[in-house]
Amino acid sequence: MDDRAIRPVHIGLTTNLLFDDEGLRAPVIQIGSRMSKVGIEDQQVLAQAGVWVPGLARMLMRAGLTGLEHTCGIPGTLG
């Protein structure tokens, strides 16, 4: 890719999002609820970038899976 090309910025649901006072001169791609599917098969989890992290942690807990409990208080999406 050309170093001078404008690269898009990917954002979630905009929690804890800050921009420079000069603004942003790039295309913005928001990843939201349309990309929030979760699949659980045995102990394998496939989660899209728009999944709400606290909800995913609770879902995995209900499925008997561990390891994501520490993320329950993080307000934001996975990706």
Asked if residue 28 belongs to a domain, the reply is yes
Q: How many helices (H) and strands (E) does the chain have?
A: 1, 4
Total structural domains within the chain:
1
- The answer as to whether 55 is a domain residue is yes
Which residue stretches of the chain are H helix?
53-62
Structure tokens of 32?
């939201």
**Domain-located, residue 31:** yes
Q: Evaluate whether residue 77 is within a structural domain.
A: no
Q: Is residue 79 part of a domain?
A: no
Q: Is 27 inside any structural domain?
A: yes
Would 3 be classed as within a structural domain? no
Whole-prediction pTM = 0.73
23 within a domain of the structure (yes/no) = yes
Report d(CA 35, CA 24) in Å as an integer: 24
pLDDT tens, 13-66? 777 788 888 888 889 888 888 899 999 999 999 999 999 999 999 999 999 999
- Enclosing domain of residue 39: 9-71
